[in-house]
Amino acid sequence: MRRARARSGSCALALIFAAQWANAQAVPGAAAPGAPPAPTPAAVTPVSPVPTSAEAPRVTPPDTGNPAELPARPPARVSPLPHPAADTGTAQQNVPRGNYVHDGVFARLSVGPGWFQASSGRSPDTRNFDGGTVSIDGAVGGAPVRGFIIGAEFQTNRVFALSSSDGVIDGDEPDLSDTRFSVTSIAVFADYYPVPTDGLHFLAAIGAGWLDVAHSHSSGSPSPTGPLLSAGGGYEWFVGPNVSLGLLLRANLGVFTVNETGSGSTHVTAFVPALLGTVTYN
């Protein structure tokens, strides 16, 4: 009797356990009997979509030819644009004409101190002259292109405190107490401003010159004549739309010859550097 009850109780427990296992299989996520509870998944924070305005700009690839052809044809070769720095004429073309530009009518007056040095005769009996000068220069011309001036000039260099020395002391040393020298020339010149709106400029001139020798106690004597070359450079500052003030360092070289009665021709070389103050209309 007891065995029959025990067997019936065991069957009842087996049926109950089978029913629970079947229910666990039917419900998803349900834990099997006797199994530890499944861990609860962590909460996931939803990610907000990126706003349309923050999206990266769409880049359209360059056209490489007909897309229907595979492979696509390469684009036609395009000549590169010239580099701005290589266009040397752009700055000149963009410079306006008129005020504060070196172009058009040109006139200049220059005055300043200088130094006179000259030599004559033949070695060893040479004679050297030196003295201070007051140099005056007037020039007129025009600009065929901006920054480049051509024209004519007249200059004179008056010598004061003249002195001389002879290579050989033989009794023919001159008395210069009543003698006056001046170096004068008429020339054509060119003046170049690398930047037409700036004051830096370089001067060159060539012309006919002469060394004027005057004596207070006698009539005029023949003057040595010949070519005279000038070169210099300076800087000017605009003080008005067409007027500038500046400084000019200039040097003259004259190679003169004179025919003296009874002694043949005499050669005279004169060198006259000067520092001039300038007034320019341009």
**What CATH number did the domain enclosing 175 receive?**
2.40.160.20
Q: Specify if 137 maps to a domain.
A: yes
Question: What is the overall mean pLDDT for the chain?
Answer: 78
134 part of a folded domain? yes
Answering whether pTM is above 0.85, one says no
Looking at residue 164, what is its pLDDT? 86
pLDDT of residue 77 exceeding 70: no
Q: Name the pLDDT band for 91 (thresholds 50, 70, 90).
A: very low
Q: How far apart are CA 236 and CA 108, in angstroms?
A: 11
Q: Is residue 73 part of a domain?
A: no
Q: How many domains does the chain have?
A: 1
Residue 41 domain-assigned?
no
Cβ contact 168:125 at 8 Å: yes
Per-residue pLDDT tens for 201-251?
999 999 999 999 887 666 667 789 999 999 999 999 999 999 999 999 999
Per the domain annotation, does 87 fall within a domain? no
Give one DSSP letter per residue of the chain, joined into a string.
-HHHHHHHHHHHHHHHHHHHHHHHHHSTTPPPTTSPPPPPPPP-PPPPPPPGGGSPPPPPPPP-S-TTSSSPPPPPP-PPPPPGGG-THHHHHHSPSSTTSS-EEEEEEEEEEEEEEEEEEETTEEEEEEEEEEEEEEEEEEEEETTEEEEEEEEEEEEEEEEEEESS-SS-----TTEEEEEEEEEEEEEE-SSTTS--EEEEEEEEEEEEEEETTS---PPPEEEEEEEEEEEEEESSSSEEEEEEEEEEEEEEEEEETTTEEEEEEEEEEEEEEEEEE-
Give domain status of residue 158, yes or no: yes
CA neighbor of 125 nearest in space, from 179, 175, 173: 173
Q: What percent of the chain has pLDDT over 90?
A: 46
| Amino acid type, 101 | V
Radius of gyration of the chain (CA): 52
Q: Give the mean model confidence (pLDDT) for residues 116-124.
A: 84
Rounded distance between C-alpha atoms, residue 150 and residue 103, angstroms: 11
How far is C-alpha 217 from the geometric centre of its chain's CA atoms? 58
In a domain, 148, yes or no: yes
**Residue 158 binned pLDDT confidence (cut-offs 50, 70, 90):** very high
Residue 90: predicted pLDDT: 47
The predicted-structure confidence for 56-66, as pLDDT tens digits, reads as follows 556 555 555 55
> Residue 181 domain-assigned?
yes
pLDDT given for residue 174 in this prediction: 67
Give the domain range for residue 177: 98-281
The dihedral over CA atoms of 30, 32, 36, 37, expressed in degrees to the nearest 10, equals: 10
* Structure-model confidence comparison of residues 118 and 262, the more confident one: 118
Least confident of 20-24, 78-82, 115-119: 78-82
